[in-house]
Every structure is written in C-alpha cells, then in structure tokens.
C-alpha cells in the first residue's frame, strides 16, 4: 500500500514541479502563478490606491505633487513642463504599462516575441509598411536640443523609473500570463505609437478599391460607384445650404471588366497594406461640434467631441490633468505612450479631433532588376539602388522565426505583390514634430493661437475643432496634404519609373479646409468630405463616407438656438438617424405598397412594423432590426455584380457608399437593380425593395420567432463588446446593450468593437467646466476598481464632471484618494 | 497537540519561505520535513496541512488589505472554474506539493535508516 502511495507522490511531485517550472501547453507555470505573494494574486495588492507616498526620481528639477482623484485621474502639479511630462510617464506607466508596450510592439512588428508564430503575419505587415522604419528615421533626425527630443526623453525617464520600481504586486497581470518581462521604454517608442495611429487613421486604400471593382465591372462603372466626391453633401466647411444637398451622380451600367488591373493584384495589395475592402465607415469615425455663444443658453461657447475608435480594455485613452506653474494648465485625455494631452481643454480653450480620412498615401508600380529579390529600381531611365535592410523576426524565447529583407525606394517601403513590386509614399513616414505640436497646442490661449500651432501638424490629417472663452469657434482639417502632379488626384496606382509622378509639395495652410467664426453659429464634423467640391475642387481624397452623422448633428444644432451642456451630452447618444430618414421612405412609397400583391403577407407584415417606426434606434424597438436586415438584403441583391466570381468567399470585393445607393434609388430602372443571378428576368428597384423587406421579415421570423416575442428587440442584437488587448474573455466586457445603430451619433454596428472611445463636453464660460467619460477605466489592472468602472456610465450616455483644480489644495480631501510627492534624487 | 505544533510550525516555515523566496520553498520544506520527520507516519499529512494553512493564510492576509473580489471573478473565468475553485486550487496546490515531497523524502529517509530503527 505504501508503495502505491510513494508512486502517486512521485507522479504528483513530478507533474506539479514540471508544470510549475515549464508550464503546460500554452499555460504559464502554475507555481509562480498561484503564489499568493509573487503570483497572480499579488495583482490585487497592486490595484490599491497608494495613499500618501513620497517617490524619489533622479532628474527632476523640482518637487512635483500628484493628487489622484476618486475617478483615478492624476492631477500633476509641477514647476516645469519637463517635470510634468517626466511624472506623467511614471503615473501612466503605473496604470498602463502593458498597453504601452503592446502598442509599441504592434508598430514595431514584434508581437511574435510574445505570441509566437500566430502573430508573424501581423508583424510582417507592420514592418513591410514601414511603421517602425518611419519612427526610427524620425528619431534619428531629431536634434538632441529640440524640445521634442527633451520631452520624449523626460517621458521615457518617468516610464523607466516606474519599471525600475516594479514589484511582484505591481507587475501587470498580462506579463505573468505571457511569461514576459517589461522592456525598458525608449523615447522613440512614442514615435512608434504615432506610426501605429497613422495605420489606424490614415492607411486608406482609395487607390486599391477602384482596381478591385474595375476588374469586375469596368473602369467607368467603378468610377461611378466610387466617386471622387460624396454624392450627398453636408461638408465640414458650411456651403451656404443649411441642409444636405445632392451632387449629380453618374452611374454607368456594369461594363466590360478592366483587364489592365487585375483584382487579384488589388486584393493582394490591399491585404498587404493591411486593409480589408471598405465596409461600414462607422468603424473608425468620430464626431465633434462647437456652438458659438449666440446659440447657447448660457451665452458661452460649447464644444463636444467623441472620437470613435476600437473599444478595448484598457481603453485607448488615459485621463490626466497637467498643471505647470505659470505656464500650463490643461486637462483631458492622452494616449498611453504619448506625453501631454491630445484632446481636452485649458483655462481658455477646448478642442477635439475627428479623422479627416484624406488621401495621404499613394502606391507606385516599380520596375525592378530582379522580381525575386530586387536590389535596384528604374527611375527616369536609370537604375537606382534600393535601400536594403535585413530584418529578423523572433518568436517566444528569442528563437528566429524568419529572416527577411526590407526594401525602400526614395518614396518609401517597397512591397511585393505577386510578381510585381509597389512602393508606398505616405505622409505618416514623413519627418514631423508632432510631439511639439501637441505640447504647444495644449497651451494655446485662443482659437487663433491654436490654429497657428496646428499649422505644423503632419499626420494623420485631423479635423481639429476649437472654441475659446472669447466665444470664437473654428475648425480646420490640419495635416500634411500632398500636392500631386497632373490633375492632382491620388486615387490610382502611379508609374514608379517616372519621377514626374512624385509628389511636388504640400498644400499651403491657407488652402486647408477650414472656417473660423461661421455665420451660422455652429460647426460640426463627422468624417464627411470637408469641402463642397462646388466651392473648392482641390483633391483631398475620394469615396468619402456618407455624411449621416454630420447631417444629424447639423439638424440637432440647427433646431436648438439655446444649447446647454446637457443637450450636448444628449446629442452624443442621440438615437435618431439621418440614414433612416433617407432610406425608410423608399420602403413606404405608394408605388411599392400598391404594387406588392395583397397576398404578399411577409411584405405586408414587415411594412406595418416600419410604418409605425419613428426612425430611432432604441433598445425596445423591433423596427431597427427589421430595417437593418432589409437594407442588408437590398445591398446584397443590388451589388451582386461586385462579388468576385473567382473568389471562394462569395463576398463583394467592395461595397459602394450608402450615398451612392441613395442616388441609385432615384433611378428605378437602372441596370444595377437587375439581379444577375436570375437570368431572363429584369428586376427593377421596387421589386428589389419588396423582395428585400419580405426576405428580411422571413429571415427574422425563422431565426427569432414572431416579432412580439421579444427577440426582435434592438437590445437583443446590438451590444458593445469591449475586448481586452489580449482578447481574453475573462478580462473583457462583452454583451453591453447599447442604444444607437449604424450611423447614429453613437454608432453601433458590426461586432460592436468600435464606438465612442471618449466623450467630452466643455463649456467655455468665466470658469471652464467640463464633463467626460470613456468605456473603461483609468487602470489597466483587472483587479482595480478603476479597471472598467466607467462602462455603465458610458452605456447610459452619462458624463462625469471633470475636476480641474488650479492648485493641489483646491481639491477637497474627499475627492482625493492618493497623494504622491515626487522629489529629485541625486543620480 | 504535537501534531498541531508540527503543522503550524511547518506552515510558518512555508509562509515565510514563500514570501521571501517564492513557491518553490513549498517542495523544499516538504522534502526537509519528510526527511527530518521520517519516523512519523503522519509527517506528509502534517506538512500538507501546514502548506495549505500557509498559502491560505497568505491569501487571507492579502484580502485583508486588498479586496480580492474583482480579481477572483476574472481568475475564475480565466481558469474556467467557479470562484471557490480558484481559491481551492490555490490552497490545494501547495498541499499536494508538500505532501508528495514529504512522502518521497520520508521514504528515502527510511531507506537510509538502519532496518531496526524503521517504524
């Protein structure tokens, strides 16, 4: 018997020690993980507020005081900007260290060192498009005496000071799960982060879309379906029309496929450059608007902003207040990894951004000396050497996964596409002092000063809205706008063998789209085309998203001549939709309701639901789901010509914007309405509308039961899913019921992983007042009360009052949970 | 009473060792206790009890100044266990580790003892 016990003991000991030293499968070692002092449990200790504490930091010029308020927001009081940024690096790292490193690794193409081979494709893509290359170039070109350099170094010192003080309790949980240790933060990593934001916001594929579509339905049709200008105009710069207007649209019928550009090429280039075919433009979007004092109840300018980005835990934003004696007092949100406040307010102004989505990238087909491994490319009849950079991809444990060579022309990275090579020219790669721009922007005292600072901003192009206490409001699409030769358009592939195709300069600031103190008394942007092309036809981009949100904001602002901060807040989650108002009437037209046969009960039943609908996306409503399903059915039936016959997925290669669909609805007999899958039958618009609503009703009936059974409710289908950066469900918040739908101001579509990542309202009165929230919390520690504490508030459309004390002691003791005194230490 | 003293003493040793050096002091203490206590039939059990007490105590101490609720919920999801299961696993792990180490050490210790003195 004792021998059996001995055997069992030996087996158990072997297993436990083995799994504790080496782990099991992908799991981290069990012993270190469960250890109550050094393991995963210790994370709870690190989540506690620090109370009152002194911290010694080498290199500080003077003591810095930080008060952390009950929302987990640090208020930093320093004597110099250097010290403020230094301490900012420390406190942000304390809350978000893992996120900072993850973002850097994503840009640098070093995720495989954490995740192994599954991350190799993403790493290759990041390096191929030159994210790290651009950051390294910018860093190496910085003058070490420049303020940008000094700021980045100070921030990195703060981050590393925190890393140096890490204990088992403060080591982020994710490192334990990945069995990794934090890398030291280098100043250039901030520039890596800016590259990553460039990928998120400015890596559009206008050049590729038409190639894909033209290869199926011909060049003319592709031009019509993906027009240069938005068919529906509600531009950022007011065009004299209070409501949206239509541009004439030419929609040639499907034609002979354009063999000059194979769609497989376009697919490969699109995939290589990291973008799927354009779909719902609400994924990456944003809103901002400002109201001049004459249209507000309080008589003070109001400003609101809500950037829409991927919703993650921890959030992409970090809230902070920086007070530098006699020179800066600013609050708002920053990106972890980036010094200073990006969106926020100071004692005089407030500002916010939406993404412009301008065309700031071009592809050039290059002639190379060797299709397999080129070393030279042809330019104006002469061979030029490519810059070749060997690169090594490493996996977990440092083993080599892949060795490759990165190639660059004078334009930028050279990408292999099939047997051809294409180089990229992209403003995100250009030298910039955007760190300095952000630093100066947050200290501007007036709208004009802010606009002057933003003249130097490079990438990605942003619609910056700003308001000041004097009552001035303004907006401008800032960033480096390339000037191209010829007709100036960039929505095509260029011949790389001619230098005459290179960019010839940048648009002068005076020609940036923008307006200051508009007569209408309000301004709004929501990623729509910035300028009405009938007023200024300068090429800024193509295939602009439909301006549904812009139309809705303008409608709300136009109808309220006494706007309050609370109204601004309500607007941010307004469930109304300009898109519904545009499309719904087509389903309800007499011509359809009379044509549809009386026995078409599915259509009739669907119609009765839509007829009762007020057009809002509320949780209890059943019409939104039916409407969205019907619109989806209509889209699938209408754009059947855009399904790649050679593709296995049966998916469209691209989907025209809904403004194009709207234009087509005015052409009931257009050949596009014909369903090519029903040869011998010629469908028209009304037939497709009836079919689509009937099919939608049937689909929902089959999958969800009768409409009144409860499962058609919008709250049953629309959720925000806020995923942790490692996509671990345990650290994520999923299934958060939200109001709003595609193209409402707080849009909800797809898998619910995108949305308003920060909401802010500022009133610029004698005392600046501000409110805000974001879907997450200040801490990246899942054991912290500040990990996801704001989600319910965000879900309900509520905002917190943002504390903005002039001095540390202005914060009442009940508002403060921690006080940190940072003092210089001799090195 | 002596059993309790043994368990508490070993528990203290495991707690101090874990706090100072880490999880691996559990098998070390188990091996040491098994060897030194090779004359006791119940030494492996007492060591396991001590290790469980130690890690349970450390966990209770942690919970005293840092609420474990939010973390416990997330760990439960992470390990696909009920919340009580995560706590149970944290206590069971050192118990098994200590028991197995002490059992083996005791057996080895007995092999090295003169036959007459073996219990």
CB A290 within 8 A of CB A473: yes
Residue in B63, B65, B93 closest to A30 by CB = B93
Interface test with B, best of A4, A13, A40, A72 (most B CBs within 10 A): A13
Cβ separation B74–A45 shorter than 8 A: no
Coil, strand, or helix at residue A450? helix
Give the span between the Cα atoms of B88 and A55, in whole angstroms: 38
Number of residues that this document lists for chain A: 827
Query: A16 CB near a chain B CB, below 8 Å?
Result: yes
Give A467-484 pLDDT, tens digit per residue.
Answer: 999 999 999 999 999 999
Give A399-428 pLDDT, tens digit per residue.
Answer: 999 999 999 999 999 999 888 999 999 999
Shortest distance between the Cα of A632 and any Cα of chain B, in A, equals 36
pLDDT at A3: 81
Give the span between the Cα atoms of A223 and A230, in whole angstroms: 12
CB A310 within 8 A of CB A286: no
- The residues with which A291 forms a beta bridge, in sequence order, are A302, A522
Structure tokens at A460: 């990605």
Interface test with A, best of B71, B79, B93, B102 (most A CBs within 10 A): B71
Query: A807 CB near a chain B CB, below 8 Å?
Result: no
Cβ separation B62–A730 shorter than 8 A: no
Omega of the bond leading into A460 within 30 degrees of 0 (cis): yes
Give A769-787 pLDDT, tens digit per residue.
Answer: 999 999 999 999 999 999 9
Q: Quick one: what percent of chain A has pLDDT higher than 90? A: 80
Residue in A10, A17, A44 closest to B68 by CB = A44
Interface test with B, best of A9, A11, A39, A46 (most B CBs within 10 A): A9
Torsion of the alpha carbons at A357, A360, A361 and A362, rounded to the nearest 10:
120
pLDDT at A274 over 60: no
CB A631 within 8 A of CB A587: no
Residue in A2, A32, A783 closest to B70 by CB = A783
SS3 content of chain A, % helix, strand, coil (to 5): 35, 20, 40
Output the average pLDDT for chain B.
Answer: 90
Query: A24 CB near a chain B CB, below 8 Å?
Result: no
pLDDT at A676 over 70: yes
- The residues with which A394 forms a beta bridge, in sequence order, are A400
Q: Assign residue A216 a region (left: φ > 0; alpha: ψ between -120 and 50; beta: otherwise).
A: alpha
> Across the A/B interface, how many CB contacts are shorter than 8 Å?
108
Cβ separation B23–A41 shorter than 8 A: no
Structure tokens at A709: 């059974």
A519 contacts: CB under 8 Å, gap ≥ 6 = A238
A523 contacts: CB under 8 Å, gap ≥ 6 = A236, A238, A289, A290, A465, A473, A474, A475, A515
Tell me which chain B residue has its CA closest to the CA of residue A2. Answer: B107
pLDDT at A388: 98
pLDDT at A242 over 90: no
Give B101-113 pLDDT, tens digit per residue.
Answer: 999 999 998 888 7
Cβ separation A6–B55 shorter than 8 A: no
- Number of other residues whose CB lies within 10 A of the CB of residue A591: 12
By C-alpha distance, which of A357, A353, A318 is closest to A437? A353
pLDDT at A261: 58
Coil, strand, or helix at residue A594? helix
Which residues in A lie closer than 8 A to residue B85 (C-beta atoms)? none
Structure tokens at A296: 């507000």
Structure tokens at B94: 């050192």
Q: pLDDT band for position A524 (50/70/90)?
A: very high
Cβ separation B70–A785 shorter than 8 A: yes
Coil, strand, or helix at residue A174? helix
Interface test with B, best of A10, A37, A45, A49 (most B CBs within 10 A): A37
Structure tokens at A368: 């190379």
Tell me which chain A residue has its CA closest to the CA of residue B107. Answer: A6
Q: pLDDT band for position A264 (50/70/90)?
A: low
Cβ separation A782–B71 shorter than 8 A: yes
Q: pLDDT band for position A4 (50/70/90)?
A: confident
Q: Which residue has the higher pLDDT, A707 or A750?
A: A707
pLDDT at A50 over 90: no
Mean pLDDT of B22-48: 93
pLDDT at A528 over 60: yes
**Structure letter (DSSP) for residue A740:** -
| DSSP codes, A286-324 | EEEEEE-GGGBSSSSEEEEEEEEEE-EES-S-EEEEEEE
H helix runs in A722-818, sequence order: 791-795
Give A302-321 pLDDT, tens digit per residue.
Answer: 999 999 999 999 999 999 99
Which residues in A lie closer than 8 A to residue B68 (C-beta atoms)? 41, 44, 783
**Structure letter (DSSP) for residue A561:** S
CB A180 within 8 A of CB A166: no
Tell me which chain A residue has its CA closest to the CA of residue B102. Answer: A9
By C-alpha distance, which of A774, A822, A757 is closest to A353? A757
Shortest distance between the Cα of A39 and any Cα of chain B, in A, equals 9
Sign, Cα dihedral of A483, A489, A492, A497: negative
Which residues in B lie closer than 8 A to residue A32 (C-beta atoms)? 22-23
Q: Give the angle subtended at the CA of A461 by the CAs of A460 and A466, to the nearest 5°.
A: 120
Give the span between the Cα atoms of B33 and A570, in whole angstroms: 68
Query: A777 CB near a chain B CB, below 8 Å?
Result: no
- Lowest average pLDDT, out of A339-343, A565-569, A689-693, goes to A689-693
Long-range contacts from A669-672, C-beta under 8 angstroms, 24+ separation: A670/A251, A670/A253, A671/A253, A671/A254, A672/A251, A672/A253, A672/A254, A672/A638, A672/A641
Shortest distance between the Cα of B4 and any Cα of chain A, in A, equals 23
Tell me which chain A residue has its CA closest to the CA of residue B31. Answer: A13
Query: A17 CB near a chain B CB, below 8 Å?
Result: yes
Give the span between the Cα atoms of A819 and A814, in whole angstroms: 12
pLDDT at A826: 61
Which residues in B lie closer than 8 A to residue A172 (C-beta atoms)? none
The two beta strands, A719-724 and A312-313, are parallel
pLDDT at A433 over 50: yes
Annotate A701-710 with b (16+ C-beta within 10 A) or e (fewer).
Answer: beebeebeee
Cβ separation A730–B75 shorter than 8 A: yes
Query: A36 CB near a chain B CB, below 8 Å?
Result: yes
By C-alpha distance, which of A445, A448, A464, A443 is closest to A290? A464
ipTM summary value: 0.94
Q: pLDDT band for position A91 (50/70/90)?
A: very high
pLDDT at A280 over 50: no
Coil, strand, or helix at residue A657? coil
CB A738 within 8 A of CB A720: yes
Cβ separation A34–B77 shorter than 8 A: no
Give A554-607 pLDDT, tens digit per residue.
Answer: 999 999 999 999 999 999 999 999 999 999 999 998 777 776 665 578 888 999
Q: Assign residue A710 a region (left: φ > 0; alpha: ψ between -120 and 50; beta: otherwise).
A: left
Where do the domains of chain B lie? 2-117
Cβ separation A31–B68 shorter than 8 A: no
Surface-to-core class of residue A331, CB atoms within 10 Å of its CB (0-12 exposed, 13-18 middle, 19+ buried) = buried
Record: fold of A363-428: Penicillin G acylase, beta-roll domain (2.30.120)
pLDDT at B119: 47
Mean pLDDT of A221-235: 93
H helix runs in chain B, sequence order: 2-20, 25-36, 43-65, 69-79, 83-112
- Lowest average pLDDT, out of A199-213, A771-785, A791-805, goes to A199-213
A188 contacts: CB under 8 Å, gap ≥ 6 = A135, A136, A138, A139, A152
Tell me which chain A residue has its CA closest to the CA of residue B98. Answer: A13
CB A633 within 8 A of CB A696: yes
Which residues in A lie closer than 8 A to residue B74 (C-beta atoms)? 730-731, 782-783
- Lowest average pLDDT, out of A116-130, A738-752, A802-816, B54-68, goes to A738-752
Mean pLDDT of A728-743: 93
Q: Give the H or E element holding residue A164.
A: helix A147-164
Which residues in B lie closer than 8 A to residue A38 (C-beta atoms)? 22-23
- The residues with which A389 forms a beta bridge, in sequence order, are A406
Give A156-184 pLDDT, tens digit per residue.
Answer: 999 999 999 999 889 999 999 998 999 99
Q: Give the H or E element holding residue A625.
A: helix A623-638
Cβ separation A12–B75 shorter than 8 A: no
Which residues in A lie closer than 8 A to residue B109 (C-beta atoms)? none
CB B86 within 8 A of CB A59: no
Across A21-25, A529-533, B18-22, B60-64, the highest mean pLDDT is recorded for A529-533
- Lowest average pLDDT, out of A255-259, A670-674, A774-778, goes to A255-259
Which residues in B lie closer than 8 A to residue A20 (C-beta atoms)? 23-24, 97
By C-alpha distance, which of B91, B104, B92, B80 is closest to B32? B104
Cβ separation A20–B23 shorter than 8 A: yes
A614 contacts: CB under 8 Å, gap ≥ 6 = none
Coil, strand, or helix at residue A572? helix
By C-alpha distance, which of B104, B18, B115, B1 is closest to B58? B18
pLDDT at A658 over 60: yes
| DSSP codes, B24-40 | THHHHHHHHHHHHTTT-
Does the A578-615+618-717 domain belong in CATH 3.30.70.20? no
A179 contacts: CB under 8 Å, gap ≥ 6 = A23, A28, A29
CB A33 within 8 A of CB A14: no
Sign, Cα dihedral of A242, A243, A248, A250: positive
Can you state the angle between helices A147-164 and A81-108, rounded to 10 degrees? 80
CB A320 within 8 A of CB A339: no
Give A354-395 pLDDT, tens digit per residue.
Answer: 999 999 999 999 999 999 999 999 999 999 999 999 999 999
Structure tokens at A22: 């080496």
pLDDT at A271 over 70: no
Shortest distance between the Cα of B51 and any Cα of chain A, in A, equals 12
Cβ separation B58–A37 shorter than 8 A: yes
pLDDT at B115: 62
Q: Quick one: what percent of chain A has pLDDT higher than 70? A: 95
> Phi, psi (5° rounding) for residue A377?
-135, 155
pLDDT at A278: 39
Where do the domains of chain A lie? 363-428, 578-615+618-717
């Amino acid at each position: 018997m004792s021998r059996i016990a001995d055997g069992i003991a030996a087996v158990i000991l072997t297993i436990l020690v083995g799994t504790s030293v080496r782990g099991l499968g992908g799991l981290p070692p069990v012993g270190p993980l469960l250890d109550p002092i050094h393991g995963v449990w210790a994370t709870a200790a690190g989540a506690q507020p620090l109370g009152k504490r002194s911290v010694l930091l080498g290199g500080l010029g003077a003591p810095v005081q930080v008060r952390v308020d009950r929302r987990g927001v640090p208020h930093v009081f320093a004597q110099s900007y250097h010290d403020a940024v230094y301490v900012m690096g420390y406190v942000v790292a304390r809350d978000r260290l893992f996120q900072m490193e993850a973002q850097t690794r994503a840009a640098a193409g070093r995720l495989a060192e954490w995740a192994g081979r599954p991350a190799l494709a993403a790493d290759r893509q990041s390096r191929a498009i030159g994210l790290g290359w651009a950051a390294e170039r910018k860093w190496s070109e910085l003058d070490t005496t420049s303020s940008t350099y000094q700021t980045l170094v100070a921030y990195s010192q703060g981050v590393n000071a925190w890393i140096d003080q890490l204990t088992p309790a403060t080591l982020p949980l994710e490192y334990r799960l990945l069995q990794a240790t934090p890398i030291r933060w280098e100043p250039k990593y901030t520039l890596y982060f800016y590259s990553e934001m460039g990928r998120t916001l400015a890596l559009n594929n206008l050049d590729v879309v038409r190639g894909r579509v033209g290869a199926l339905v011909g060049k003319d049709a592709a031009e019509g379906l993906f027009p240069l200008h938005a068919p529906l105009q509600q531009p950022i710069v007011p065009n004299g029309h209070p409501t949206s207007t239509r541009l004439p649209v030419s929609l040639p019928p499907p034609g002979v496929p354009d063999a000059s550009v194979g769609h497989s090429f376009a697919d490969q280039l699109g995939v290589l450059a990291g973008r799927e075919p354009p779909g719902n433009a609400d994924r990456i979007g944003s809103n901002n608007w400002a109201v001049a004092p004459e249209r507000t109840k309080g008589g003070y300018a109001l400003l609101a902003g809500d950037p829409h980005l991927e919703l993650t835990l921890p959030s992409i934003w970090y809230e902070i207040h920086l007070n530098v004696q006699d020179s800066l007092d600013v609050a708002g949100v920053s990106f972890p990894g980036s010094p200073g406040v990006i969106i926020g307010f100071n004692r005089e102004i407030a500002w916010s951004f939406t993404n412009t989505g301008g065309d700031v990238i071009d592809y050039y087909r290059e002639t190379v000396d060797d299709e397999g491994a080129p070393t030279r490319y042809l330019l104006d009849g002469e061979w030029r050497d490519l810059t070749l950079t060997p690169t090594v991809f490493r996996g977990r444990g440092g083993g080599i996964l892949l060795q490759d060579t990165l190639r660059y022309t004078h334009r930028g990275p050279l990408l292999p596409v099939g047997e051809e090579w294409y180089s990229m020219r992209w403003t995100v790669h250009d030298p910039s002092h955007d760190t300095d721009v952000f630093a100066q922007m947050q200290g501007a005292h007036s709208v004009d000063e802010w606009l002057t600072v933003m003249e130097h901003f490079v990438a990605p192009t942003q619609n910056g809205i700003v308001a000041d206490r004097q009552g001035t409001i303004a907006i401008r699409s800032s960033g480096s706008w390339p000037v191209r030769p010829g007709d100036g358009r960039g929505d095509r592939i260029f011949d790389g063998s001619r230098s005459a195709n290179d960019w010839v300069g940048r648009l002068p600031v005076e020609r940036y789209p923008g307006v200051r103190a508009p007569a209408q008394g309000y301004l709004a942007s929501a990623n729509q085309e910035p300028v009405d092309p009938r007023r200024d036809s300068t090429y800024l981009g193509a295939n602009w998203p439909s301006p549904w949100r812009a139309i809705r904001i303008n409608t709300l602002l136009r109808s309220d001549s006494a706007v309050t901060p609370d109204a601004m807040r309500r607007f941010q989650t307004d469930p109304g939709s300009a898109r519904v108002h545009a499309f719904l009437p087509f389903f309800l037209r007499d011509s359809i309701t009379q044509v549809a046969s009386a026995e078409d009960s599915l259509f009739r039943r669907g119609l009765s639901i839509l007829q009762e609908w007020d057009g809002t996306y509320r949780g209890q409503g059943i019409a939104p789901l039916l409407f969205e399903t019907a619109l989806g059915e209509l889209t699938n039936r209408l754009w059947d010509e855009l399904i790649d016959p050679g593709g296995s997925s049966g998916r469209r290669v691209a989907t025209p914007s809904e403004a194009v669909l709207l234009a087509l609805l005015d052409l009931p007999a257009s050949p596009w309405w014909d369903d090519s899958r029903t040869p011998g039958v010629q469908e028209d618009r009304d037939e497709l509308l009836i079919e689509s609503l009937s099919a939608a009703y049937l689909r929902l009936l089959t999958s969800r039961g009768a409409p009144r059974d409860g499962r058609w409710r919008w709250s049953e289908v629309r959720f925000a899913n806020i995923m942790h950066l490692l996509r671990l469900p345990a650290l994520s918040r999923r299934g958060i019921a939200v109001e709003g739908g595609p193209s409402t101001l707080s849009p909800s579509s797809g898998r619910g992983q995108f949305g308003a990542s920060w909401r802010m309202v500022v009133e610029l009165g004698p005392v600046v007042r501000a409110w805000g929230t974001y879907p997450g919390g200040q801490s990246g520690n899942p054991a912290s009360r500040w990990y996801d504490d704001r989600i319910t508030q965000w879900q309900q459309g509520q905002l917190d009052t943002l504390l903005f004390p002039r001095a540390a002691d202005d914060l009442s003791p009940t508002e403060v949970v921690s006080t940190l005194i940072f003092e210089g230490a001799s090195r | 009473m002596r059993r309790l003293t043994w368990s508490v003493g070993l528990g203290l040793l495991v707690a101090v060792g874990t706090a100072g050096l880490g999880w691996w002091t559990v098998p070390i203490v188990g091996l040491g206790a098994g060897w030194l206590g090779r004359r006791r039939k119940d030494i492996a059990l007492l060591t396991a009890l001590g290790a469980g007490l130690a890690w349970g105590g450390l966990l209770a101490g942690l919970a005293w100044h840092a609420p474990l609720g939010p973390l416990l919920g997330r760990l439960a999801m992470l390990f696909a266990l009920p919340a009580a299961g995560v706590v149970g696993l944290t206590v069971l792990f050192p118990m098994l580790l200590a028991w197995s180490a002490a059992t083996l050490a005791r057996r080895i210790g007995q092999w090295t003892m003169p036959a007459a003195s073996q219990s």
